[in-house]
Amino acid sequence: MTPMDRTPEDLDDTPAAAAFLDAYQEQIRARVLSDNASTLDQDGPLVRRTPLTGRGFLTYRDLDGLTGDDLDALIARQVAHFGGRGLSVEWKTHGHDEPADLTDRLAAAGFVPEDPETVIIGEIAGLARTPVPPDGVRIREVREHADFLKIQRLQEAVWGGDFSWVPDAMAHEVSDAGDPAVVVVAEAEDGTVVCASWLRFHEGTEFASFWGGSTLSEWRGKGIYKALVAYRANLAVARGYKYVQVDASDDSKPILRRLGLLAVASTTPYVWGA
């Protein structure tokens, strides 16, 4: 299901959800930070991050009313910019983006949709409680390369494929001076990481965000993901953050909504050059 196909029933239609979406649009939607391996610039309404290698990123609050040929020209410039550098690029769309034919125009330019997710938001204080992992599982924060290798093995077991990039990515997450992260794992008695997640603190905003949460199949349904949500919420509340935002998969969305968070938007990455 592409974002423009999402039905209103997928989202919460309440004043609280609308207020959360407004805060997200204002504080987070167009927030992109540079680092030593990338540069930032702007092309019209787009904020563009260009890395030295790998995948670039495009986001925006809105497209300033661009339609038709003008929008096609904007899309074409991104293909030329990243293609000329031998890079792929992700254009992060949202279901409420205008114009309604945006994703059709991206597809015509060679962008391919990845799995849709739902933007879930709520007041983080409502998630703060004592984490209760199952017997034989402990929760701990990690910063060492050996632990990041365990997260790599977890991701490969859950999703298949090559996740050799994970240790370096995790090292970057915990050292990011702009939006610092804390990586948290649930670990079995034999030292196996059975679930891994992290949260980012978006400095200068009211938002923290949750990421990850992949769990080994034999450990699902035991409350591990919920325990990691509570643990991370406690960290965010202690730092004074008001809101939590999650780009939730269809697996995690029901859990988060049962915890009181609201579904405010759909989001789908459209990727060129992958």
pLDDT digits (tens, 9 = 90+) for 177-208: 778 899 999 999 999 999 999 999 999 999 99
Q: Which domain holds residue 42?
A: 3-120
Q: Do 97 and 13 belong to one domain?
A: yes
Residues 96 and 159 in one domain: no
**Are residues 76 and 43 in contact, defined by beta-carbon separation less than 8 angstroms?**
no
Domain match, 99 and 210 both: no
Do both 97 and 170 map to the same domain?
Answer: no
Residues written for the chain: 274
User: Would 271 be classed as within a structural domain?
Assistant: no
Residue 223 has pLDDT above 50, yes or no: yes
CA 36 to chain centre: 21
Give the mean pLDDT of 236-264.
94
pTM for the complete prediction?
A: 0.89
Hey, is 40 helix, strand or coil?
A: strand
And the tokens for 3?
A: 């974002």
258 and 128 both lie in a single domain: yes
Structure-token match 């990691």, residue found: 228
- Residue 2, pLDDT score: 42
Rg (C-alpha) for the chain, rounded Å, is 19
Cis ω on the peptide bond leading into residue 15 (within 30° of 0)?
Answer: no
* Number of domain units in the chain: 2
pLDDT cut 70: percent of the chain above it: 95
Residue 7 and residue 26 share a domain: yes
Asked whether the predicted pLDDT for residue 6 surpasses 50, the reply is no
Mean pLDDT of 31-60: 88
* pLDDT above 60: residue 8: no
Residue 37 CB burial class (10 angstroms; 0-12, 13-18, ≥19):
exposed
Strand partners, 123: 243
Task: Provide the CATH number for the domain around residue 260.
Answer: 3.40.630.30
Are both 181 and 66 inside the same structural domain?
no
